[in-house]
Amino acid sequence: MYKKEDHEFTYPELPEQLKKFKQFREDYYNTHDLLSTEIRKAKKSSSLTMEYHIYLSLFEHHVHFLEILCIGEYFSNGSLSERLIRLEDFLPEIKTLMLKKTETTYFITEALNSAQKADDHEDYMYVKDEFGDAITDTEQKFYYLVDRIFRETKRAVKKPEQKPILIENKTVSPYEPVVKILTKHFNIEEIFLFNQQEIYSADQKTTVLYLLLISNKI
């Protein structure tokens, strides 16, 4: 709805975007394959605690890429459970994939963390070995989930659903008062209008605008 005069906001060309996306996707698959190989080695040597430790790293690997794909940033400082709960808003199927125990915990993550508890107490009995098959099955489903999100993201990049319509500041528009207020107080390059809602109360109408402001500094 607004574009600063003599300003051109550019995005990387599609081939460049796809090239970076391809490398990003290859990084995911390469690390997944390496960790999967280590898990097979741990199973072959009957080292369940080591197997669980590597599975934990593999789940964190899945979550890392899902965070970037769905949220745009990753949260490596949080626990696996905290990161999964955050992703539930974008991928509700995580609740069933990870076997939700309470609002903030999962059976699968508790089982994975039992390996560290066994190490801390130097007692193998702490390992929840009854979840071994469930962990293997869940990891495979997570792999399919990430693969699906990659494919959906690639389609969205190649065929965007819609583009915001820009109206240059020289064009008279009903949003001119809002534009003037914003540009008076902030050094704004562009303003995108994504949605508009009318709210009625006590014989008064209020217009709510959902805007995205593009600026070097706000």
Dihedral, 49, 54, 57, 63 alpha carbons, nearest 10: -100
Query: Is 107 found in the same domain as 55?
Result: yes
d(CA 155, CA 161): 10
Are 97 and 145 members of one domain?
yes
Domain total in the chain: 2
Per-residue confidence (pLDDT) for residue 133, from 0 to 100:
94
| 184 within a domain of the structure (yes/no) | yes
DSSP per residue, 145-206: HHHHHHHHHHHHHHS-S--PPP--TTS--TTHHHHHHHHHHS--SEEEEEEEEEEEETTEEE
Asked if residue 29 belongs to a domain, the reply is: yes
18 lies in the same domain as 77: yes
Whether 114 and 195 map to the same domain: the answer is no
Residue, of 162 and 64, whose pLDDT is higher:
64
On whether residue 2 sits in a domain, the answer given is no
Global pTM reads: 0.67
On whether both 47 and 119 belong to a single domain, the answer is yes
Residue 139, SS3 per DSSP: helix
pLDDT at residue 159, rounded to an integer: 64
Within this chain, do residues 106 and 195 fall inside the same structural domain, yes or no? no
Q: How many angstroms from the chain centroid is the CA of residue 176?
A: 35
Instruction: Tell me: do 83 and 188 sit in the same domain.
Output: no
Domain that holds residue 114: 14-158
Same domain assignment for residues 132 and 184:
no
Which range among 55-59, 125-129, 135-139 shows the weakest confidence by mean pLDDT? 125-129
Indicate if 55 and 83 belong to the same structural domain. yes
Taking residues 21-37, what's their average pLDDT? Answer: 95
Q: Indicate if 150 and 180 belong to the same structural domain.
A: no
108 and 204 in a single domain? The answer is no
